[in-house]
Chains A and B, each alone.
Chain A
Amino acid sequence: AQRVTQPEKLLSVFKGAPVELKCNYSYSGSPELFWYVQYSRQRLQLLLRHISRESIKGFTADLNKGETSFHLKKPFAQEEDSAMYYCAPPNDYKLSFGAGTTVTVRA
């Protein structure tokens, strides 16, 4: 089963600054990974899946097999990016969420 670690529980950045949320996985082989976001009082939403390799809301995430990481990055954080972010690998069709990182973007 795939497991992930999100080492930062809280992350505070200023608006316009770069933001990077760390996610490390423990799985041999080719992992599949997602980033989900939960804005205040809203549902969990799929932000990125590594297979698509696309950028959503300015966020990107690159799978680094050497470092076993799937860090989420955005070069210029916006206030509306304040949310809870979860790294999540699928395991037999269910999602196993990491502990999550709360991002606060300050003006």
Chain B
Amino acid sequence: EPEVTQTPSHQVTQMGQEVILRCVPISNHLYFYWYRQILGQKVEFLVSFYNNEISEKSEIFDDQFSVERPDGSNFTLKIRSTKLEDSAMYFCAINDRENTDTQYFGPGTRLTVL
């Protein structure tokens, strides 16, 4: 099973601050995803990233959000100006190289916006 790590495991920030969440897949994959899970709610799709560009994004993924692969390995999610409602678990996922429908998730980053 492909391994995915995420840093930090927990991020506490003040409202209005910028945060960058990082995802590091151990091997090369084509598709990357970010999902979020607000406490007590279901996991929601944010954005998919393929071939170094966004392939799809949800309505949640507004102008405050951006993604990139700055060095070809790390995959980052940036929230430009955090709001209280951005507090959630953020999960990175990658697709299975042989089957693009199977996704493998990182352990998540818990973002707390104060």
Chain A residues with a Cβ under 8 A of chain B: 32, 34, 42-46, 49, 86, 90, 92-100
Complex Cα distance, B55 from A17, in Å, reads 44
Q: Max chain B CB contacts within 10 Å: which of A44, A86, A92? A: A44
With a CB–CB cut-off of 8 A, which chain B residues contact A44? 43, 91, 93, 105
- B48 an interface residue at 8 Å Cβ cutoff? yes
Contact check, A46 vs B45: say whether CB atoms are below 8 A apart.
no
How far, in angstroms, from A42 to B105 measured CA to CA in the complex? 10
Q: B: which residues have CB within 8 A of A?
A: 31, 33, 35, 42-45, 48, 50, 55-56, 91, 93, 95, 100-108
Q: Which of chain A's residues have a CB closer than 8 A to the CB of B95?
A: 93
Q: Which of A43, A46, A100 has the most CB of B within 10 A?
A: A43
Q: Is the CB of B107 within 8 A of A95?
A: no
Q: Are B48 and A93 in contact (CB under 8 A)?
A: yes
A94 to B60, CA, bound (A): 15
Q: How far is the CB of A100 from chain B (nearest CB, A)?
A: 5
- In the complex, which residues of chain A have a beta carbon less than 8 angstroms from the beta carbon of B105? 43-45
For residue B46, which residue of chain A has the nearest CB? A94
